[in-house]
Structures are given as structure tokens and as C-alpha cells.
Structure 1
Amino acid sequence: MSQSPLKVLLFALSEYGNFNPSLAAAHELVTRGCEVHVSSFDEGHDNGSGPRARVSQLNNGDHGPITTSTSTTALPVKFHAISGYSMGTGFAKHPEGGSFQDFQSRPPNSIFLPLPGLGTLMCWMTPAEYKEAVESCVKILKDVEPDIICMDPWFSSPKDACELMGRNFVVLSQNTAQETLDSIQPMGGVLWKYPMLGTGLPYPLPLHLIPSNMATVFRYVYCLNTAPEISATNAVRKALGNKKEFPGLVKWEKDNHYLIPCPAEADFEWGYIPENVTFTGPVLVKGTGLGSDPGLLTWLQEAGKGNTVLINLGSNTKYTHANAVEMATAIARFLESPVGQGRQVLWKMTPKASGEDETREAIQRILGNFCKSGRARVEKWFTVEPGDILRGGYCGAMVHHGGANTYFEVLGAGIPHVICPAWFDLYTMAARVEYLKIGFYACKASAPDLDATEIADGLITALDLSSENTKGEEIRQNALNLGEITRAYGGVKVAVDKILELSKEKKFQRP
């Protein structure tokens, strides 16, 4: 009698970047012969691809063959919708209205300014809706009866459901170790050693900046612990029977296991790493490949390896007119420079709806000739995964927002970063690339708004191959070395190996 396949349930937020690690793990798990279930909010996105659609694409083979090691057809991944809606929808429903970008895009070290979106970032649904989401997750847990559970670290409602059901879980992080480890570092290291989210401070922290960092930590803790959204949600949690602290405020617990996709060598130095933390290397989604867009592939091939600059500030970024003009100007300055000769730029540019026509007209005035000659392409959405473009070896550098998935993809490609932090929790990624000397923190004086000169200068320094450019040479070599280290980690295969290993431990098994 054949043994039943291991049943794995992955809970993931529906935001595109948050969902990626779970989708990548789901694909690897089914090829290992597992029965895989993925649960999220059932919403679409600007590119027309929400979680349900992305799971269907996985089952159709868009992310690689769906066969097991014995070449038999794998079981299809099953999608389970959770009652509720995404963080983005929650921000739009906020009394002040807006998007994630509107609420979380703020200058560095401005944590003392009012933070109307911080409570919403943790509790974007009403208390009644949150209660329904938890009950929905409990029902899914009862229906699926998973052998092991994987969890998005920012997804509070299924964490509460797991508490009610007496289940531990494996956290499948999409972030660096900072989001898990900083609060448990020896001697209160979170206060004096590591730059707090939103500060834009460097690492290691200079002595004269430690008071500012400490003040920011205390302010952050105060704002979260007094946020009315969290207090109201805690009331319904208590009524449900939840006794633990609100999950969004808990970074690490001893009874769960944490899979960290950031290579240890590509992060800050951590004085204490618990036994229940595993560094896996990037857990990234495989796309359909460059072959699915022959026109783009030909364009990249004609320029040659390493001669394309990729610009993508993330799926949540909508350009204002002013920022679009700054980026277009930076592109023009780079392409006009001696370093830019023989190179080209691929820019993902989604404008804000208000003033979209004027924004596109301004870009056309600045980049029209470059677009006509084929040295610049401006796309609202890529038809292939950015990771596929990077893995092809055609890019010499990337301008990005500092999002973790993008950081990992650029790490793996072994090329320099030019980071333009898009919102408050991304300034530490810019500090990280400067500490590692693998890129540039652009727009320091203007962030979160863009600065054409800083972006262009960063690209020119990163790609200037002249012998006099010792800084650029150091950055390219460091990026190349970290690329080799990153690729050697194993990524999703190591993550799934660990999930399968942990499934044999009693504390992760169903009661």
C-alpha cells in the first residue's frame, strides 16, 4: 500500500512580492511529490495576476515542469481563499484614502512625524473582518489537515488561527534576517548596533547617531503599541481565545522555525542566531523565461551581455510626474555619457493615474530619440519576470527600490545595485549595499523622491570600466563575488529540504 503524500499548507499575503516565496516553494514541493495547498486573499493585481491566477499558472507549467523526480505528473496545487482583502485594499479603505505608497513613502528618519498608516500596515481590516479572516483560516486548517504549515511572516490572521488550533509553523520569510533577529540581539543591539527601519542611517552605526536610532526605536514601539487599529483588533482576538501578543508585533518565537532567504554574507553581522533559524539563500519564482517574449530577448541579445541597465522600482510604485521626469533625465544623462555608449536601458514605469498623459508626454520629450533608436524601452509591465532578465546575464546594473525579492535577484546576478528607497522600511537595504560595497544609495538628499544626478552618477560609476575608476571596480568585484556565494546557497531547494526535514519533528505535525 502506497504512502499518502506529505500534505503542506502555505499561507501567504496576496501582494505580488509577498506571494513569490510561497509560489516558488509550492512548485518545488509538488516536484518532490507533496500534496500542496496555498491559501491567500482572492484578489487580482494591476498585471491581472492575483494569487488564484498565479497558482493556476504554476499548475499549467509557467514556472517550470510539474513532474516529480520519478517523472510522474505531480498533484496540482490547490488554492484556498481566505475571507478578507489585501493590504493594498486596506490602505485604499483607510479614512484618509490612498495606497501603500501614499502612506509608507516618507523621508528617512522622519519617524517622529505622524504615522497614520502604521497601525493600518499591521491591521488593514476592521476588527470584525479580521475575526472573519481568522475563522476562515481555522476552517481551512480543519479542511486541509496539513502535515506541516508554512507561513508568511507578516500574515497575522493565519498565525492567530494556528494558535487557536495548537499548530506551530515554518516561517518562509521574504526578507533579510533583520526582520527576524534584530529584537533578540545581545545587549539590546537593536538600539545601538543596527539602523532602525525608516532611519536611513548607515551600518555600523557611528557613535553620534546612536541616540537618534534609539529614539526612533522607542517611537516606533510606542506608535505600534498605542495604535487604535491594533487595540481594537486585540479585543476581538481575545474574544476568539487568542492569548499571545498581536502576531504582527512578534518577530521571533522559539517554537517555530525561520527560513531566511538572505545569504548571511549579504547582510549585517548578527551576534546571535538561534538554532531555529536557517539561511537558505533566495527563494525566487521562476518565470516563463525570456523565450516567452522574443522581441525583448532579441533586443537584449543585440546589445550583448552586461550592456543593459534594468530599472524597476517595484510593483507598488506609481510614478508622480516629477519623479518620472527625474528618472527619465537620469536615463538620458547616463546614455549620453561616455560610459553609456553601447549600452541601453529597460525601464518599468507605471505612472499615477492622475496626470498620466502629461507624464508620458514628458518622458517622450526626454527619451523619445533614445526610444526611437532602440537604446531605451519604457514598459508599464514586463511580460517576463525581472529575475529572468537578470539571470540571462544581459544586465550590467540595476536601479531598484530596495525590495527584498529584487535585492536577492540582483545579488544572484552578481551586478551592482543603485537603490532609490521607495518607502520607509527600505532605507536599511540601501545602507546594506553601501556597507557591503556592492552598490549605491541614490537620492539620499531627496528620498523618497528621485534625483536624476545621483541616479545617473551611480550608474556611471558602477559601469565605468576605466582603470582610474577604482571605486566602480571594487563594487563590481564585490557584487560578482557575492553573486557566486548567493547562487551556491541553493535557495528554494534548501528551503524545501528543511521543510521536509521539519515535517518529521513532532512539534510541527498535526495533533
Structure 2
Amino acid sequence: MLPAIGHPYDWRAMKLNWRIASADVRFNAGTNGAYRPAGTTPALIASTRATIKTSPRGLGCQRSQRLHHFNSNLTMYARLLGVAALLIASLAYLLAGREAVPRAPYIQGRNGTVLFIGNKEDGLVNAQVATAAALLEGFPDIEVHFASFPGLSKKLERVAALAGRPMIIHELQGLDFSEAVTKRGKNLANIPHAPASAGIAHLTKDMQTWICPWSAEDYLALFREIGALIDEVEPAVVVLDTFLHPGVDAVRQKHWMHAFVTPNTLVDNFLGVQPRGGMFWKYPAVSSGFSFPVPLRSIPENIYLNMRFIYSVLWMPDLAVVRKELKASGITNPSKFYDLHLDDTPWITQTTEGASIPVDYVPPNVTSVGPISLNSAPAAEQDAELAAWLKGAPTVLVNLGSTVKYNEQQAGVMALAIAEVLEKTGAQVLWKFRKFGDYGDEPLKWLEKYVASGRLRMPAWLAADPLALLETGDVVLSVHHGGAGCYHETIS
């Protein structure tokens, strides 16, 4: 018997509703953007409705009060838009200034040679790995090099073996993105935050970490290492990761021909150039939880969130110190968050028409190609026993990305949700599960009988690639964290 509402692990209290009926499987997270801890909603987005008795006099008062609030709202909108316009103008000025600076012609190295430079985290690098695999398979005359950090080499070797061609792998010795974030004291305990206004202070405070987690010393070490590698390989083109800024700076300092392949969609990278200030009133702000297009009632809060976000990007004191040190060390123009895209640099994204939020304007050198997924060996070749188990019943795959671990409370909530599915349906569940912190198995007790019966598996890692599991046709529902990689693997 599952616990009643009010239990500390009660998933019902979080409005999580799973429905599975034979081949029809749905997952609904019913927050509807309504989560607002008490006292955290700014006055500027407070409801303007008044409770007035419905007497003739009361109706007159009601009309007057509504008119007053309507005028107040107009004033509020005007003020917000005025400040927003100043912030947009500041950002536009910086962007315009960046494009106006003359650049030396790009250097092209040896014909038929490409160098990929990327992070090792699956969500950041898989689109690059898939692109490299496509070049190996379809263009035998191209020499493919891949530079990344320890931990990715086995995947690259597997990709090369599947393609039947060698890939030249270079292991970078500097700090990767995740290591740099951890070095700044960030982890799964202090990264999560509430959505919308309740969490904007937390998000903007951490923005400097996400844009550039490296110290000046670590940044400079990677910059020099990557620069030396470019000189050694002499590629015709370098393919970059938008989250590896030392690599971007190394390539641009040398004026080397380069391109970006990114897992993110157009709405992630090009909101600032949408016409009529669409990022403020049409597109949901980062971490807002708003639907698209932004509901009318949420536009004031969306404007406020974007103002806070832009301010945090334009004025980052910690990053300013790092950039000053990097300039003193010889880096001409250390990368900023808003200057990655250049008009003469190809930018490839896996935006998928009909399955991604549409944008009104796309820069002419940006190409959307749909899911960039890594083809791999069939699941039966990677893990024959697991592939056979998938055939036993409709399977729910719960895979929240390569970096997610569960604390005790999160484990308890997920365990109850999974137990509910297993209790009420004939499905089976494959849940990639790793603990965050030191705790026992008490939160997981609801699942013991399902593990014993074989209807639930909880590996710490998936021996077969998630895409290969999806391609079996036996997975009827993919539950993930909303990352670009997981999402596009699922729709592909």
C-alpha cells in the first residue's frame, strides 16, 4: 500500500501524474508554472483583482478600482519596458561594436583535415561526436581529429571502430567544464533553484559560473594547450563547443577557420535578436517555467526576469577580473557570453521544425538540421541480456542525463512515482539511478518487490546507449530532464 498524501516522499503532493495504457503512454508534470513560494512573488506581478460586494454601489466602486488598476498596470508596463529598452540598447551596442571590429582573414590549414574540440559531458559533446562519426562514415578522404578530456576516449574509439576508420584522439590535460564548476563549489546540492521570480536571484548569482567556470590560471592553461594543438594538427577547420570558451579564444586569437556544432536549439541562442523585443513578451525567460507563447498575465514577470538576466550578463564582476587577467596574459579579446556568434562563422543546430519552439528570425549563417544523434551498434550487440529483457513488457526508460544523481528526498519521490506505475500497469521500468549523498535504502523500500520480480532495474549506468535502447521499439516512454541531447534522441 503506497503512503497517503502528506508523507515526506509523497509524489502526489508534487502533482506528478503518470498514465500508461498499453501503447498509449503519457507523462504530465502538472505545475502549470504556478509554483510560487509564499512571499516571493514581486508586487509588480500581484493580481489586481479586488473583492468588492456586488451591490449597485459596489459595482461602481469595482469599475473605478479596476480602471485604477488598469492604469497602474499600464504605468508599470511602461516603466518595465523603458528599463528593458535601456538594457537591450546596451546589449545591442556591445554586439554592434563587436561586429564592427575588422578581423584578419581566417587561416585554413591542411585540406581534408578537421579538428573537433569539445567537452566530455554527453549533453555537451554528443552532437559533435555524432558529426565526427558522420564524417568518418561518409567522407573517407577527410582526416578526423577529436580533442577532449579523459573519459571520452572510449566512446570515440567505439565510434571509430563502428565506422571502420581511425579517428585521431587528443586528450586535453586541463580542467574540463564539470571539474571547473565543481572547483567553484557548485554541486547538485546548491545548483537547483525555484522557477521564475522565486529563483532568479540564485540563477543570476550563478551565471558567471555557467558562462566561464575556469579561474584565469586554469583558463590560460587550456587556451595554450589548445593553441599548441591547433598548430600541430593544422586543420582546415576547427569545430567548436559553445561551452568551451578557452577553445573558442584559442581559435579566434589565431584567426583560424572554425564553425560551431551545438546541441542547443535556436531559442536557446538567438532570443536577443528576435524582432519587436520578442524575448520579453513572447518567449519564456530562462528558468521561468512559463509556456510558449508567454501568457498575457505572465508578461510583466517575464520582462522582469529578462531584465535581471541581461543585467547579470552585462555586469559580472568576477568574470571581469578573470578577463582582465587573461588580457594581461596576452589573450586579445576573451570570450563573452554574447559574442560567440559571428556573421562569418557557420553555426549548426539540431533545431527540429515542429518539435522546437519556433523563432521569427534566424541569422543567415545558422543552419538547423534536426536531431544530431550518434548512431551506435544495436542494443543487442551492446548488451544482449538487457535487450532481451526489454522484450518482456512495454518499458519506461527513466534517464535524467549523465550528471544527475538523486538525494534522499528526490529518490523517495521518484521511487513512489515508479511504484505507482508498476502497481497500476503491466509496464516495466529501467531507471538509471545514482545516489547523491550518504543515505540508506529506506526511500526505495516501495520498489523492493518489483526489483525482486524483475519488473524494475536500477543500474548506475546504462551499458547500452540510450538511443540504441529507444531504437528497439520496446521503450514506450522516455522520462528525461529536458536536456537537448535526451530530448532530440527521443524525437529522432
TM-score, length of structure 2 as denominator length: 0.73
Instruction: Give runs of aligned pairs for residues 109-128 of structure 1, distance below 5 A.
Output: 109=196, 110-113=199-202, 115-128=204-217
Identity %: 28
Which one of the candidate residues 362, 371, 379 is aligned to 2:443?
Answer: 362
Instruction: Indicate conservation of the 8 Å contact 1:224/1:230, yes or no.
Output: no
Q: Give the secondary structure class of the aligned counterpart of 1:217.
A: helix
Which one of the candidate residues 144, 151, 156 is aligned to 1:36?
Answer: 144
Instruction: Indicate conservation of the 8 Å contact 1:155/1:248, yes or no.
Output: no
Which one of the candidate residues 419, 422, 427 is aligned to 1:335?
Answer: 422
Instruction: Indicate conservation of the 8 Å contact 2:249/2:334, yes or no.
Output: no
Displacement, 1:315?
1.2
Displacement, 1:302?
2.1
Q: Evaluate the alpha carbon distance shift between residue 124 and residue 325 of structure 1 in structure 2; reply closer, same or farther with a 3 A threshold.
A: same
Displacement, 1:115?
4.6
Give the structure 2 partner of residue 54 of structure 1.
155
Give the structure 2 partner of residue 481 of structure 1.
none
Cα offsets for 1:73-110 (capped at 9, x unmatched): x3x2112233421222122212xx242x3343111111
Instruction: Indicate conservation of the 8 Å contact 1:320/1:352, yes or no.
Output: yes
What letter corresponds to residue 282 of structure 2 in structure 1? K
What letter corresponds to residue 158 of structure 2 in structure 1? Q
Number of aligned residue pairs: give it: 378
Instruction: Give runs of aligned pairs for residues 51-200 of structure 1, distance below 5 A.
Output: 51-59=152-160, 61=161, 64-66=162-164, 74=165, 76-94=166-184, 97-99=185-187, 101-109=188-196, 110-113=199-202, 115-200=204-289
Instruction: Give runs of aligned pairs for residues 428-467 of structure 1, distance below 5 A.
Output: none
What letter corresponds to residue 116 of structure 2 in structure 1? L
TM-score, length of structure 1 as denominator length: 0.70
Q: Evaluate the alpha carbon distance shift between residue 354 and residue 226 of structure 1 in structure 2; reply closer, same or farther with a 3 A threshold.
A: farther
What letter corresponds to residue 107 of structure 1 in structure 2? A
User: Does residue 367 of structure 2 align to residue 278 of structure 1?
Assistant: yes
Give the structure 2 partner of residue 429 of structure 1.
none
Q: Give the secondary structure class of the aligned counterpart of 2:235.
A: coil
Looking at structure 2, the residues matched to 8 and 259 of structure 1 have their Cα atoms a distance apart, in angstroms, of 15
Instruction: Indicate conservation of the 8 Å contact 1:152/1:172, yes or no.
Output: yes
User: Which piece of structure 1 moves more, 237-246 or 280-289?
Assistant: 237-246
Instruction: Indicate conservation of the 8 Å contact 2:175/2:218, yes or no.
Output: no
Q: Give the secondary structure class of the aligned counterpart of 1:215.
A: helix
Looking at structure 1, the residues matched to 329 and 258 of structure 2 have their Cα atoms a distance apart, in angstroms, of 20
Instruction: Give runs of aligned pairs for residues 294-333 of structure 1, distance below 5 A.
Output: 294-303=384-393, 307-333=394-420
Instruction: Indicate conservation of the 8 Å contact 1:308/1:346, yes or no.
Output: yes
User: Does residue 323 of structure 2 align to residue 234 of structure 1?
Assistant: yes
Q: Give the secondary structure class of the aligned counterpart of 1:298.
A: helix
Instruction: Indicate conservation of the 8 Å contact 1:156/1:248, yes or no.
Output: no
Displacement, 1:361?
4.3
Instruction: Indicate conservation of the 8 Å contact 2:147/2:172, yes or no.
Output: yes
User: Does residue 435 of structure 2 align to residue 351 of structure 1?
Assistant: yes
Instruction: Indicate conservation of the 8 Å contact 1:39/1:82, yes or no.
Output: yes
Displacement, 1:171?
0.8
Q: Give the secondary structure class of the aligned counterpart of 1:266.
A: coil
Looking at structure 2, the residues matched to 214 and 252 of structure 1 have their Cα atoms a distance apart, in angstroms, of 24
User: Does residue 401 of structure 2 align to residue 293 of structure 1?
Assistant: no
Give the structure 1 partner of residue 45 of structure 2.
none
- Identify unmatched segments of 5+ residues in structure 2: 1-109
Q: Evaluate the alpha carbon distance shift between residue 278 and residue 266 of structure 1 in structure 2; reply closer, same or farther with a 3 A threshold.
A: same
Give the structure 2 partner of residue 372 of structure 1.
452
Instruction: Indicate conservation of the 8 Å contact 2:351/2:369, yes or no.
Output: yes
Displacement, 1:240?
4.8
Displacement, 1:253?
1.9
User: Which piece of structure 1 moves more, 179-188 or 238-247?
Assistant: 238-247
Instruction: Indicate conservation of the 8 Å contact 1:261/1:280, yes or no.
Output: yes
Instruction: Indicate conservation of the 8 Å contact 2:348/2:368, yes or no.
Output: yes
Give the structure 2 partner of residue 401 of structure 1.
481
Looking at structure 1, the residues matched to 412 and 484 of structure 2 have their Cα atoms a distance apart, in angstroms, of 26
Give the structure 2 partner of residue 46 of structure 1.
none
Instruction: Indicate conservation of the 8 Å contact 1:168/1:255, yes or no.
Output: no
What letter corresponds to residue 156 of structure 2 in structure 1? V
User: Does residue 300 of structure 2 align to residue 211 of structure 1?
Assistant: yes
What letter corresponds to residue 332 of structure 1 in structure 2? A
Q: Give the secondary structure class of the aligned counterpart of 1:8.
A: strand
Q: Evaluate the alpha carbon distance shift between residue 302 and residue 91 of structure 1 in structure 2; reply closer, same or farther with a 3 A threshold.
A: same
Looking at structure 1, the residues matched to 111 and 320 of structure 2 have their Cα atoms a distance apart, in angstroms, of 42
Cα offsets for 1:255-292 (capped at 9, x unmatched): 11111112122111211112211111111123332112
Looking at structure 2, the residues matched to 240 and 336 of structure 1 have their Cα atoms a distance apart, in angstroms, of 62
Which one of the candidate residues 128, 133, 136 is aligned to 1:27?
Answer: 133
Cα offsets for 1:284-306 (capped at 9, x unmatched): 12333211212111111122xxx
C-alpha RMSD over aligned residues: 1.9
Instruction: Indicate conservation of the 8 Å contact 2:204/2:308, yes or no.
Output: no
Give the structure 2 partner of residue 430 of structure 1.
none
Q: Give the secondary structure class of the aligned counterpart of 2:238.
A: strand
Q: Give the secondary structure class of the aligned counterpart of 1:372.
A: helix
Which one of the candidate residues 253, 259, 266 is aligned to 2:348?
Answer: 259
Looking at structure 2, the residues matched to 247 and 165 of structure 1 have their Cα atoms a distance apart, in angstroms, of 17
What letter corresponds to residue 302 of structure 2 in structure 1? N
